[in-house]
Structure 1
Amino acid sequence: MKIAGIILLIIGVTSIIIQNTFYGYVDAEGFLHDSLFLPLGAFATILGFLLLSVWGIKVFIKRFRK
């Protein structure tokens, strides 16, 4: 769970950086052009934080019970 959370965080942050660097612009007619890196990055980042939070809570509970 810990490794999966870290990997998802890395994928999410990388996707958001790629989105902000290469994609996402407004053309001459005022249309916003976007890619799927933004929702992918947001989803992966949120899921990574969620997995790391669950793992942290499990570790905390396990240490607290001893």
Structure 2
Amino acid sequence: MADMVAYRSLSTSMLRCLDHVPPPAARAANCVPVEADDLPDGGICTYPDCGVDVLIPRGADGS
């Protein structure tokens, strides 16, 4: 099993990186975990002012 790289909203298809994980209630009701294999064309976090490529490994310090 691949590592989870993001969450996708089922209602809006918005993709959020792990730094912008939706709150638990939203995840349970409307979001699914996404693995790298689920994003063959890549994926960019759609959280306002983020834009991180969720497939690029990030260091422990977030960079």
- Kindly indicate which of the two structures has a greater share of residues assigned to strand: 2
TM-score by structure 1 length? 0.21
Query: Which structure exhibits the higher relative contact order, with contacts defined as CA atoms closer than 8 Å and separated by 6 or more residues?
Result: 1
TM-score by structure 2 length? 0.22
